[in-house]
Amino acid sequence: MLLSQRFRLIGLIAVAMGGVLVDQGAEAVPLFARQTGFECSGCHVGGNYLELTTTGRQFKLLGYTLGERQTIPLSGMVIAGNSRLRNQNGTADPATDLAHDRATQLQQFSLFSGGKILDNVGAFVQWTYDGVAHHSALDNVDLRFANQTSVAGKNMIYGVTLNNNPTSQDVFNSTPAWGYPFNGPGGAFQDYGSQPVIMGALAQQVAGVGAYADWNNFLYAEISGYHTADGALSFLRSGTYHYATGDTPPYVLKGVNPYWRLALHGDSGPHSWEIGTYGMQADQYSDGLDEHSPIKRFRDYALDGQYQYTQGMHHWTAQATYIREKQSYDAALVGTDYENASNRLNWAQIRGSYFYHNVWGGSATLFSSSGSRDALHYADNTNTVPNTRGYILEVDYLPIDRLKLGLQYTGYTKFNGSSSNYDASGTFTNRNAKDNNTTYLFAWVAF
């Protein structure tokens, strides 16, 4: 399909949804905007719908309770897209291995609820239909109690959070759950290399309870504990494992696993900044259906930073994160699943974006993963290491509020340890890193 034809198909979807937004006017803004009376740009930077401003961060810290409780607390989001892989060379069967390559499709439909429940109690609840996998399930959930007090003569916000995705409760966009890319290729090729467990492996598989505090809009701290989402908290888990259909076994943790967060941040006129650290311990049963199976231990330690400039017509943002993961395994796994008794995995990402008048904008991102050589764990990789390097370039256009059209390009200079023939014994044989380069057109509508 020609590029112009793809734009036309996605444009038709965008125009149809945009027409709905125009007809409904102010009544069609998302849930939190209706509750607070703010425009979307009041809480989000430029055209980056998931990136919070200082106002957006305060709203989240206060438990989503600012404003008036809504009679029908509901809003939605639709993403449609078309992805094109640079080269299908090396695929055993393109019809199944890359079934959604070069196909225009509804990628995601989400409904959101929550907002203000009581004066000090609020929620963010997301349900998502995956248009690629044709599966729907509960997505990110964050239930909060929040209040304010005075400490050393300065205001302090404090609260309790119950959530199902580590870092989803964070208020900065330099942590994984709400970090970039905000959306990506649907079903064609969306693999940025090996990543630490805190970057999404636990999402909608666990339940975490934590306490947080933000003092004087300067010092933010949180401590939480995560457990497998079972028993009374099983409603926080996404989907059900079906042994007969060969689903991936659930990610089951042993006991309660700690998560921590500490950040310094501040504002000066149109400038805001943050520098911090976060981390997590995760002890995983190697067999999600057997809580007597050997344990895999993950220790993630991270540094992150963020900068925003928002004034008038110009909006600049930048985020960076570095995660170092230490992995160790019970003796029963060494020599079978792993060559080494312990491994390391590093992840780094830096991104910058600019939007003009909340209409035109774009971003550039560099990412990299690296780690220990392990001939068993990375047996499909020619060089038996996870090392991957690449970049993401994106341009965006917002013709009306709450509608974004984008063109994203992901390029790889190294994949799974090599720039060429990286998967000599795996599914994609004789394949080069640049063969995975992907062009992605999308329309994103919030209503």
Q: Each residue of 168-205: pLDDT tens digit? A: 999 999 999 999 999 988 766 777 889 999 999 999 99
Query: Quick check: 144 pLDDT over 80?
Result: yes
pLDDT of residue 245: 44
Identify the CA nearest to 274 among candidates 179, 183, 381: 179
Confidence tier at 288 by pLDDT (50, 70, 90): confident
Q: What angle do CA 198, 202, 207 make, to 5 degrees?
A: 115
Distance CA 363, CA 367 (A): 13
What are the pLDDT digits (tens) for 366-413?
Answer: 999 999 999 999 988 888 999 999 999 999 999 988 899 999 999 999
CA 431 to chain centre: 28
Query: Quick check: 238 pLDDT over 90?
Result: no
> Quick one: what percent of the chain has pLDDT higher than 70?
86
* Average pLDDT score over residue span 431-440: 92
* Mean pLDDT taken over the chain: 88
Stronger pLDDT, 25 or 359, i.e. the higher one: 359
Stronger pLDDT, 329 or 248, i.e. the higher one: 329
Query: Quick check: 132 pLDDT over 80?
Result: yes
Query: Quick check: 434 pLDDT over 90?
Result: yes
Query: Quick check: 254 pLDDT over 50?
Result: yes
Dihedral sign for Cα atoms in the order 42, 48, 53, 56: positive
* Average pLDDT score over residue span 98-106: 81
Domains of the chain, start order:
3-446 (2.40.160.10)
pLDDT of residue 92: 55
pLDDT of residue 243: 42
* Average pLDDT score over residue span 77-81: 94
- Reported as half-sphere exposure (CB side, CA atoms, 13 A), residue 47 has a value of 27
Confidence tier at 12 by pLDDT (50, 70, 90): very low
Query: Quick check: 93 pLDDT over 70?
Result: no
Stronger pLDDT, 123 or 358, i.e. the higher one: 123
Distance CA 431, CA 425 (A): 11
What are the pLDDT digits (tens) for 211-233?
Answer: 999 999 999 999 999 999 998 99
pLDDT of residue 275: 98
> Quick one: what percent of the chain has pLDDT higher than 90?
69
Query: Quick check: 365 pLDDT over 90?
Result: yes
Q: Find all residues with CB under 8 Å of 413, minimum gap 6, and list them.
A: 389, 390, 391, 419, 433, 434
CA distances from 330 to 288, 291, 319, 346 (A): 15, 14, 36, 21
> Rounded to two decimals, what is the model's pTM?
0.90
pLDDT of residue 242: 43
Count of C-beta atoms within a 10 Å radius of residue 99:
12
Write phi, then psi, for 6 (nearest 5 degrees).
-65, -45
Query: Quick check: 297 pLDDT over 50?
Result: yes
Stronger pLDDT, 69 or 95, i.e. the higher one: 69
> Mean pLDDT highest for which of 94-103, 214-223, 284-293, 307-316?
214-223
pLDDT of residue 270: 94
